[in-house]
Structures are given as C-alpha cells and as structure tokens.
C-alpha cells in the first residue's frame, strides 16, 4: 500500500498505475481501493476528477494529494 502521508500537499508520480485520466475520478478511486483504502466518493470538478477516502485523503486525477 502506498503511504499517502509521504505525498501530502504534493503530487504522486505520473507514470504507470498513477497516470490517471478519467473526468469522474473513477480510475483514482479504483487505484486507491487497490492500495487498501476505502473510497467514499469520487467525482468531477469540471477541471479534473477526484476520489475521497474514508480516512480523509483527497486524490485528484492530476495526482495531487491532500487531507480533507
């Protein structure tokens, strides 16, 4: 499992499995679930997609990671 604490306020590397491109964040949600996180929502901001985990991580399709 990737430790999102290491990326808080930064971007995930954009290659391989962390190269996201859906507008609704469904690929981010699937990746987070594969990493062991529980995804509570995902959606589209009009500029990028995102997914939010039960433990408060917000990861966007541009790879930015933050706590909510």
Q: Report yes or no: 8 and 66 within 8 Å, Cβ to Cβ.
A: yes
* pLDDT for residue 14: 82
- pLDDT per position as a tens digit, 38-65: 999 999 999 999 999 999 999 999 999 9
Comparison of pLDDT for 17 and 39, the residue scoring more: 39
Q: Which of 1, 53, 57, 47 has the alpha carbon at shortest distance from 24? A: 47
- What domain range is 13 assigned to? 4-67
Report CA Rg, the chain. Answer: 10
How much is the average pLDDT of 29-44? 97
Domain count of the fold of the chain? 1
Q: What count of residues does the chain have?
A: 68
């Amino acid at each position: 499992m990737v430790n999102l604490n290491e990326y808080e306020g930064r971007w995930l590397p954009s290659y391989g499995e962390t190269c996201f491109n859906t507008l609704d964040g469904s690929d981010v949600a699937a990746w987070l679930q594969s990493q062991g996180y529980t995804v509570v929502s995902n959606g589209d901001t009009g500029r990028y997609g995102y997914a939010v985990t039960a433990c408060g991580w917000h990861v966007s399709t541009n790879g930015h990671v933050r706590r909510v």
